[in-house]
Amino acid sequence: MRVYVLNGPNLGRLGSRQVDVYGVTSYADLADMCADVGAELGLDVVVRQTDAEHELIGWLHAAADEGAAVVLNPAAWSHYSIAVRDACAMLRGPLVEVHISNIHAREEFRHHSVVSAVATGVICGLGVDGYRLALHHLAARPASQVS
């Protein structure tokens, strides 16, 4: 099964950005962990990060066309990007929304995600382990529930 692990703005700065909130794991280490976990589970994992909204939307469109599963950390776009939400709604495969921090325990403007309503599931507040859990969840889904 192909799984896109897609990350939005500022996540490329993991390990140096607000380590009290996001931890010390670098983005490179996160990408390697996702690839390693995916390989262990027999998944074809593609990990990407962008600070450009149109690029993320293009990747979501490609995943929709393929019927691929998606693990998505939309980052700040979670809270206001209807364009990202609409691209997520086009997905035919499962979508797991992941947030490293607990968005519900942070500033009020972070409490709501426009993406959550079209996601298969949401994981937040478990650090980078949320990605591992999302990949395990997707690997355990029956093939009939993938696309």
Residues making up the binding site? 73, 79, 86, 100-101, 110
The question of whether 80 is a catalytic residue gets the answer no
Question: 8-18 in b/e burial notation, b at 16+ Cβ within 10 A?
Answer: bbebbebeeee
* Closest to 146 measured CA to CA, from 116, 107, 120, 114: 120
Give the length of the chain: 147
Choosing from 4, 27, 99, 131, the catalytic residue is 99
Which residues does 34 contact at the CB level (< 8 Å), separation at least 6? 5, 45, 47, 71, 131, 132, 135
Binding residues for substrate, as ranges, are 73, 79, 86, 100-101, 110
Q: Is 50 exposed, middle or buried (0-12, 13-18, 19+ CB in 10 A)?
A: middle
Choosing from 22, 54, 104, 111, the catalytic residue is 22
The question of whether 22 is a catalytic residue gets the answer yes
User: Which residues does the annotation mark as catalytic?
Assistant: 22, 99
